[in-house]
Amino acid sequence: MAPVRRIGQNLAIIALAAALLATAAAEGLYRSGWATRIEYLYTDLWHRLAGPRQAPRHTALVMLDDPTLNERPDEPLAFWTPHFAKAVAVLRQAGVRVVAIDFIFSGSPERWIEKLGLIGREASRNYDQPFRQQINRGGVLLAGFRVGAGDTVNDFILPSPDYLLALPALDMPAHVGLANLPSDADGAVRRFALVEAPGAFARKEGLPRLGFGALAAATASGQDSQAPSWRYGDRDLAAAAVVPIKFAGPPGSFKALSFRRLLAPDALADPAVRALAGKVVVIGAGYASMNDLHPTPYSTSIGGANILMPGPEIQANVIETLLAGEFLDEVPAAARLLVFAALLGGLAWFGLQLSAGGSVILVVLAMQGTALAAYLLFKQDLLFPVAHLQAGMVIVLICLALLRLRREERERKRIGLMFGRYVSPQVVTALLDSPELPELGGQSRQISVLFSDIRNFTTLSEKLSAREVVELLNTYFERACAVLLAEGATIDKFIGDAIMAEFGAPLAQADHAGRALRAAVALRAVALEFRAWVEQRFPGRDLPQFDIGIGVHSGEAVIGNIGSSVRMEYTAIGDTVNIASRLEGQTKQTGTHILASRDTVAMFGGELETGDLFCLTVKGRGAPVEAFEIVSVGS
């Protein structure tokens, strides 16, 4: 019995050691934040699985949408302040608590009118008077933006002085909120800061301090914007707090009211307008050409539809989170450590008594079980770091594998000693050899990357059946790929209606920039020819004219087999890829069809007809990118 007892003791010691190591590693990852991006994948998935979580009770959304603009096509938005004044007046009569206007009125139409001499001097001074009067009555919040550290006045974009002078008691911190929406490392907006200008400068100079949503919630709940902390629900939130947004649901969960309904002659008879009574109303932009769209937990790739959320709706979610007093909380540290230690210890103990395959199955089942438990906790507004726990499970599995390898090594030595006396060393070596797992990896290389995207594809797909959309895409991709391959491109992937291609990999091509530019021009020609096919194939369908945008950039990228041992993909990653993608997205704003970076044009060095030169600010890159419009490429 003694040997059996000793084996059991050894197993217990090994299991304890593995559990302690895995728990320390999981907790270390949690505290250091190294695995936070992986954790985002889970929490984002929980958001999407949960769908709409609750109907907003304290906040409503009014959007200045395309139907509103279409009713007044000849009026520039800069001159809409009389309409805003009328809308605010209607909301006051409807009994709303606070009106938060998520527009930055940095210019004054009166100043433009006077400058252009459109009407008399006295009339120009009265153009904005209704809007200023509404601001001066209180209960109206304006938006600003912090563009720097907040240490100088130049770090703030503020409303026009004409409107600041109309603020009640000239109290800017109490009536102007900063509409910044800070994003996490992956670009998604998941949390908000109560104070968006935390430095002493803003407080000293009387500049905006609170975030736009935080100011609206403080105003609606009667709390001082300059207080060191605020109370919502059953908790006090300090000025330095960064709070997870408890989203009401995916984009569109706030059923936005069209701005035009506030301008209707019988607006107060509208049941939807009367339903705004007692709420904080956020007025924001919801028309097609707006740029105020942001990734959220509902926008990430795994299981999501990549749908962006308008900034005003995010602000409405912030306000609703605070006024409802319902928050997403992390599981307490003591409970987290206890769960880590108990589960990892149990896995180590049972895994030691199973085969290698059995241990893997046990860990996989445990991962699935903890993911399900984490989702159920999320439904109760608790965030559990399941990715960190699963990292600990992997460490347990590695410890078990190392232990087995040690045992196998001893067995190999025993077999070697035993067979070495009867067979040649070559035969022993062959017996003991084991296959190696393939290694993942890549290499850095100078390449050119091309992105192409179909314009107005959403409108196209709405007017065609699913089968017709697939037919259109397949037919276009067939023609597009032909010209790309003719220039030696590697078709990396299709992303919906977009194409990503590389030149210069996997085979090196000294003229990859020229190939990319020739392919871009050829691809534009294919799109023009394909336009006739669309009109002939779908006559009388009132489809938008078929067109594409193309972005090209050259530089260094990492290229190779990227992925895992069960699924790999040959692709390119890096800043070069991101810039090419962003340039394609800028073709709409610049009114061009092909944009190529200065780097690509310089690397080409051949005959090239270009149009305008643009200095573009692209998302995710601090320095601007210079890009040329490409017209044609010499042979």
pLDDT, averaged in runs of 10, over the chain (635 residues): 45 70 80 82 91 93 94 87 95 96 86 64 73 94 93 92 93 95 90 92 90 96 94 92 94 94 94 96 91 88 70 96 93 88 83 80 90 93 89 84 70 54 41 42 85 92 92 94 88 89 85 94 95 91 92 91 68 91 92 94 88 85 87 83
pLDDT value of position 355: 79
pLDDT value of position 18: 72
- How many distinct structural domains can be found in the chain? 3
411 CA to centre of own chain: 52
| 553: CATH | 3.30.70.1230
Cα dist from 565 to 103, 367, 438, 444, whole Å: 49, 18, 8, 21
Provide the 10 A C-beta neighbour count for residue 185: 9
pLDDT value of position 442: 67
**228 and 341 belong to one structural domain:** no
Which domain covers residue 169, as residue numbers? 59-324
**94 and 174 belong to one structural domain:** yes
**174 and 252 belong to one structural domain:** yes
pLDDT value of position 360: 86
pTM comes to: 0.62
| Element at 244 (helix H, strand E) | strand 242-244
pLDDT value of position 375: 94
**334 and 309 belong to one structural domain:** no
> Does the residue 134 lie in any domain?
yes
Name, in order, each residue with C-beta under 8 angstroms of 241's C-beta and a sequence gap of 6 or more.
193, 194
Name, in order, each residue with C-beta under 8 angstroms of 605's C-beta and a sequence gap of 6 or more.
none
Cα dist from 135 to 101, 158, 301, 493, whole Å: 11, 15, 42, 52
pLDDT value of position 372: 94
**300 and 386 belong to one structural domain:** no
**372 and 395 belong to one structural domain:** yes
The secondary structure of the chain in percent helix, strand, coil, rounded to multiples of 5, reads 50, 20, 30
Burial class (CB within 10 angstroms; exposed 0-12, middle 13-18, buried 19+) of 408? middle
Cα–Cα distance, 168 to 174 (Å, whole number) = 9
Provide the 10 A C-beta neighbour count for residue 126: 12
**424 and 446 belong to one structural domain:** no
Domain closes at, from 294, 324, 354 = 324
Cα dist from 243 to 151, 216, 369, 484, whole Å: 24, 15, 28, 48
**412 and 309 belong to one structural domain:** no
